[in-house]
């Protein structure tokens, strides 16, 4: 295990190698593990990210700053940073976790990254930890839109329509599939003014609505790219099968993709496949 390589990627060299080892140690490996360091690193991370957002976005209010921070420090965002560091190759896991693929698990990788930040804080103080965190997040913030980061598809669609003074979409359950304990909902999203009719699927009504809203946003973007500024003329309704073929179906399996904490932020909340 080449820990010098990891330190190079972090941009930080530990004075106390024992702290680095502990930060990389999962509880399945030994009694001396990284959970307390993770707790500390989580607090340091939230403080530094809040500071970065406060400095960069002077015109954004407290509510939107909280939304941005939640999106940036959520598990998925930390997991993506950990993947860029290739952190999985440095984990110290017990035999059971190794066999079950724990080195790929987002929760373990995200927690280990937080533990590393806590270890850096103990090793050299707040400023050192802040420099590492800023190196992670400044490039991300340079490439995202703070007005949309962390907002789900339904919210973005609603805000767009309101900005154009277009009536809000309607969502209708058109079908349910599967047994009662594992139902999948098929949801229709209609925006008549823009001649948009799309269908989304999800493990709950909410998830299906989010999937449909994502498709509606895609349709809006496609129309904008073609320069369609006016509503398309009404067309004769097509059979349902033809509508599905034209519109596509987005599928989201559960509500877990839409937690408000949160999605790293180069994409909107939710996992959608067409």
Among all chains, which residue has been given the structure tokens 């998830």? 207
Among all chains, which residue has been given the structure tokens 């599939």? 177
Contacts (Cβ under 8 Å, ≥6 apart) of 159: 151
* 267 Ramachandran zone, left/alpha/beta (phi>0; psi -120 to 50): beta
Pairwise CA distance, residues 156 & 147, whole Å: 10
Phi, psi of 249, deg, nearest 5: -125, 125
Q: Is there a catalytic annotation at residue 95?
A: no
Bridge-based pairing of strands 249-252 and 170-177 is unpaired
SS3 190: strand
Choosing from 114, 123, 186, 188, which is the catalytic residue? 114
Question: For the purposes of burial, counting CB atoms within 10 Å of the CB of 137, is it exposed (0-12), middle (13-18) or buried (19 or more)?
Answer: buried
Contact 165, 193 (CB under 8 A): no
b (16+ CB within 10 A) / e for 13-30: ebeeeebbbbbbbbebbe
Choosing from 42, 152, 186, 269, which is the catalytic residue? 42
Q: How many other CB atoms sit within 10 Å of the CB of residue 59?
A: 6
Q: Is there a catalytic annotation at residue 209?
A: no
Contact 147, 141 (CB under 8 A): no
List, by residue number, the catalytic residues: 42, 114
């Amino acid at each position: 295990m080449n820990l010098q390589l990891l330190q190079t990627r972090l941009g930080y060299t530990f004075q106390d190698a024992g702290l680095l080892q502990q930060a990389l140690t999962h509880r399945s490996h030994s009694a001396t593990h990284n959970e307390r360091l993770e707790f500390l690193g989580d607090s340091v991370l939230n403080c530094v990210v809040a500071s970065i957002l406060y400095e960069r976005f002077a015109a954004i209010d407290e509510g939107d700053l909280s939304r941005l921070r939640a999106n940036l420090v959520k598990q998925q965002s930390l997991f993506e940073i950990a993947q860029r560091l290739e952190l999985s190759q440095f984990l110290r896991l017990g035999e059971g976790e190794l066999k079950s693929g724990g080195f790929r698990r987002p929760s373990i990788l995200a927690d280990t990254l937080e533990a590393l930040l806590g270890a850096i804080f103990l090793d050299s103080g707040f400023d050192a930890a802040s420099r590492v965190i800023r190196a992670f997040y400044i490039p991300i913030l340079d490439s995202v839109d703070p007005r949309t980061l962390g907002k789900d598809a339904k919210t973005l669609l609603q805000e767009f329509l309101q900005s154009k003074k277009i009536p809000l979409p309607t969502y209708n359950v058109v079908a349910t599939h599967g047994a009662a304990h594992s139902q999948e909902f098929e949801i229709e999203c209609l925006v008549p003014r823009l001649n948009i009719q799309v269908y989304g699927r999800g493990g709950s009504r909410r998830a299906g609505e989010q999937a449909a809203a994502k498709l509606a946003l895609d349709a809006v973007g496609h129309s904008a790219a073609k320069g369609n500024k006016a509503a398309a003329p009404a067309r004769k309704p097509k059979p349902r099968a033809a509508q599905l073929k034209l519109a596509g179906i987005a599928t989201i399996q559960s509500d877990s993709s839409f937690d408000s904490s949160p999605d790293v932020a180069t994409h909107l909340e939710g996992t959608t496949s067409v």
